[in-house]
Amino acid sequence: MIATRLAQARKAASLSLRALAEQVGVSQTTIAKYEKGESTPDSTMLLALAKALGVKVAYFFKSAPDIALTDLEYRKRAVSKKEIASIKAKVLEQVERRVELEMLYPEVESRGFEVPDGLPEHLPYLYSIDAVAAQVREVWHLGEDPIANLADLLELHGIMVFEIDESADNNFDGLAAKANGRQIITISKDWPGDRQRFTLAHELGHLILEGRLAPSVDEEKASDRFAGAFLLPEKALKERIGEKRKQLDIAELALIKAEFGVSMQVAFIRANQCKIISYDYSSSLWKMFQAKGWNETEPSEPYPKEKVLRFKQLVVRAVAEEWISESKGAELLGMSVRKFHNYRMTGK
């Protein structure tokens, strides 16, 4: 048990065998033997390992649910093997806690994700995807309104959403996978809200569009198109900026961002896709954003981060209904018992 948990914690911390060995004052070979189960660290070494890895000593003795992560997909950018190992370990730890809660709390409903019925079986063009996004919105009773919390919406429809600490400067752009057959999507806590939301919608697009795209349609571009259309419907956009425009003010893009939780870039790309502005004007906006560095940091106020609340809600409910103890709830949320008790009493 110690061997497996040590390896998982080391990968989650993005530490090599050598780096961890240097931090705790032993050889790389010794750490390798610990992880292979060929040797067992004593209590002093366990304390040192726990401190280096940012975990409690009890973590090494905690039995983990049997979780299989399958169908892992990383969005867009090239991710190194070391980064993949770290991200996978972080995700696995969160999935374990979710599954453990559901095992302890039998009243938790664990429904799976189902693609809505009646969607087109064959999508020959990128523009065909707008209608699919509109259809999903209709089936889910969303109307044309902005989606207040996309993470909550996906949880409601059977997709587990997790956040991990992964720097916005890294190549990680989102992960979709299955945990024991259940669909999960992972985003980073470090991203701005509009990027978190677009990634969630993009990964939803992959699930919705799977097996429907013509061979000539690029899956990544298709999922991007779905994300834009799902978050910012054509009718809603036209109601706000008009049917036809020669140009747009930067302030208008900022207002769309503030209301719908999409980047300013997505806003003008959607305006072009909806034939409100020309392709040439959209291209000129893109070039201006690049020249000013706005493609990296937009001039408008950052959009608030997504609130991934479902797991915390389940833990608090489980404690309130006495399915689990307060100390177990604190452990699941990674809090001290005192801090968790104060949170239950004050909500902060």
Q: What is the pTM assigned to this prediction?
A: 0.83
Q: Is residue 153 part of a domain?
A: no
In a domain, 110, yes or no: no
**Domain-terminating residue out of 13, 33, 63:** 63
Where does a domain end: 20, 47, 63?
63
What is the tens place of the pLDDT at every residue in 167-210? 666 667 778 888 888 899 999 888 899 999 999 999 999 999 99
114 located within any domain:
no
34 within a domain of the structure (yes/no) = yes
Flag whether 171 is in a domain: no
Q: List, for residues 235-277, the tens digit of each pLDDT value.
A: 999 999 999 999 999 999 999 999 999 999 999 999 999 999 9
Angle at 300 between CA 296 and CA 304, to 5 degrees: 90
Q: Which one, of 318, 266, 257, 302, lies nearest residue 109 by Cα?
A: 318
Side chain identity, residue 257: K
CATH assignment at residue 35:
1.10.260.40
State residue 292's pLDDT score.
97
Report pLDDT for 99: 84
Q: Which of 28, 47, 63 is the last residue of a domain?
A: 63
pLDDT digits (tens, 9 = 90+) for 64-122: 667 778 887 776 556 677 777 888 888 888 888 888 888 777 655 667 899 999 999 99
Distance separating alpha carbons of residues 194 and 330, to the nearest angstrom: 30
Tokens of 67: 């979780």
- Does 79 map to a domain? no
> Is 210 part of any domain?
no
Domain coverage including residue 321: 310-346
Q: Give CA–CA dist 154/198, Å, rounded.
A: 13
Split at pLDDT 50, 70, 90, the class of 12 is confident
Domain-located, residue 104: no
Could you give the number of structural domains in the chain? 2
